[in-house]
Structure 1
Amino acid sequence: MSQFNISLLAKQGWRIINNQNSLVMRVLKAKYFPNDQFLNSRLGNSSTNISIHDDSWVPDAINFRLSSEVNSMRDSKVNALIDNIERKWRIELIKNTFAEEDAVRILRIPLACVPHDDFLVWGGEA
């Protein structure tokens, strides 16, 4: 499957290079390489695309919400809550940012021992 995925990515790359005005090219350029060319672009591995106010990353989230006094974190990403040097949650930040029951749920989520690229996982039913 990985070779098939690479071939599909190469095909998409070819389309991006040859169709500079296509909608997909404009969207990808704006998001991933606004100041460079496609062939020079790189994706980092330190950020996730999920905003912290999106409950899809918190198991069993029922009434997921930020604490009412916290507005500065509203548009932040999940990786802002992780100390990537020590590979642990930023406990005080989480406790000060989220309602108590949500903070408890977040702190139960195990973190990988080493940083890695984000990847999609199936979150639906089989």
Structure 2
Amino acid sequence: MGFRELREFNDALLGKQVWRLLTDTNSLLYRVFKAKFFPHCSILEAEPKTKGSYAWQSILKARDFTKNGTVWRVGDGKNIKIWKQRWLLEDHHRQVITPTPTILADSTVSELISPITKQWDETLIDSIFLPYDAIAIKSIPLSEGSLKDKPFWPGTTTGQYTVRSGYKFLQAENLKLQPSCSNSKPMEQSGRSVVPASPQKNSSVYMACSKRLPSIQTQPEEETCGRRSSCEMCAAPTEDILHALWECPQAKSAWNGVSGLRDARKSKFLNLQTFGAK
């Protein structure tokens, strides 16, 4: 296990303590930490304290990713912040995307529920949210009783956080942060789509980039037996490596049949070193 994996596993272990502080309100751990660090809010809204213990600081670090993975099931809606927490049903649409009105930044889901019918106030919802959000909100079933809002962890069948599911969640989140060629320049993207980033030394592309691929221009004069330097396929005046692999009409027809190279042919590579650069 590498250093990064070890850190992710440690955070996943701490996430278990965060989950206990969020769900097990009768435990001694909850009562002690609640009284000292977040007496007027939940663990998810607790503010960092400079004089907090090492254990508390560690829990806060794990709290951030646990908060990002937790989804809320709507009960009475009093503990769910509309714009700050994930509470919608669809996996790809857990949080509202409607811009937050300044005066409603701290509003709770309970304000969207009619106190008389105990159902969604559809007129109010349609007036505040984008249609995409409004439809998602109104599709959430509500209970006529006074059920409490309940957090659940979507990575498990029981809805309860586990170290294993937390570790997988962290790995998935960190994978999203890894750089990819999507941020590269167009020229670099074209080159990467054509040539592997790390060619082996015995590949033809590597040999071409290092000018080791045989051609009329690169061969010693005694080996060409006095032949002219023109291309034998199209009679071009000079047959260098770039012409043999890329510019010759015969080479063009072959490359055009390869997926992804038709658009790449529109780029003007200055040389094979540019073409094969990673």
Do Structure 1 and Structure 2 share a fold, with TM-score over 0.5? yes
Q: Is the contact made by 1:67 and 1:97 (CA closer than 8 Å) also made in structure 2?
A: no
Gapped regions of structure 2 (runs ≥ 5)? 1-23, 43-74, 158-278
Q: Is the 8 A contact 1:48 1:77 kept in 2?
A: yes
Structure with larger RCO (C-alpha < 8 A, sep 6+): 1
> Following the alignment from structure 1 to structure 2, what is the Cα–Cα distance between the partners of residues 28 and 48?
18
In the alignment, does 2:74 pair up with 1:64?
Answer: no
Q: In structure 1, list runs of 5 or more residues that go unmatched.
A: 1-6, 17-22, 33-44
Q: CA deviation at 1:98?
A: 1.1
TM, length-normalised to structure 1: 0.60
Residue in 1 that maps onto 2:121:
90
Q: Would the alpha carbon gap of residues 31 and 88 (structure 1) be closer, same or farther in structure 2, given more than 3 Å must change?
A: same
Q: Give 2:78's match in structure 1, choosing from 38, 41, 48.
A: 48
Aligned-residue Cα RMSD (Å) equals 3.2
Q: Aligned in 2, Cα 1:31/1:64: closer, same or farther, shift over 3 Å?
A: closer
Amino acid at match of 2:126: K
Q: CA deviation at 1:74?
A: 2.0
Residue type of the partner of 1:30? H
- Output aligned runs, 1:67-78, within 5 Å: 67=99, 70-78=101-109
Query: Post-superposition shift, 1:64?
Result: 3.1
Q: 1:64 to 1:9 in 2, by over 3 A?
A: closer
What SS does the aligned partner of 1:31 have? Answer: coil
Q: If the length of structure 2 is used for normalisation, what is the TM-score?
A: 0.30
With over 3 angstroms needed to count, the CA separation of the structure-2 counterparts of 1:48 and 1:123, relative to structure 1, is farther
Matched residue count:
100
Identity %: 24
Which runs of structure 2 are paired with 1:1-126 in the superposition (5 Å)?
9=26, 11-12=28-29, 16=32, 24-31=34-41, 46-54=76-84, 56-60=86-90, 61=93, 64-67=96-99, 70-126=101-157
DSSP-derived class of the 1:56 partner: coil
As a proportion of its length, which structure holds more helix? 2
Larger-Rg structure:
2
User: Does the Cα contact within 8 Å between 2:78 and 2:108 map onto a contact in 1?
Assistant: yes
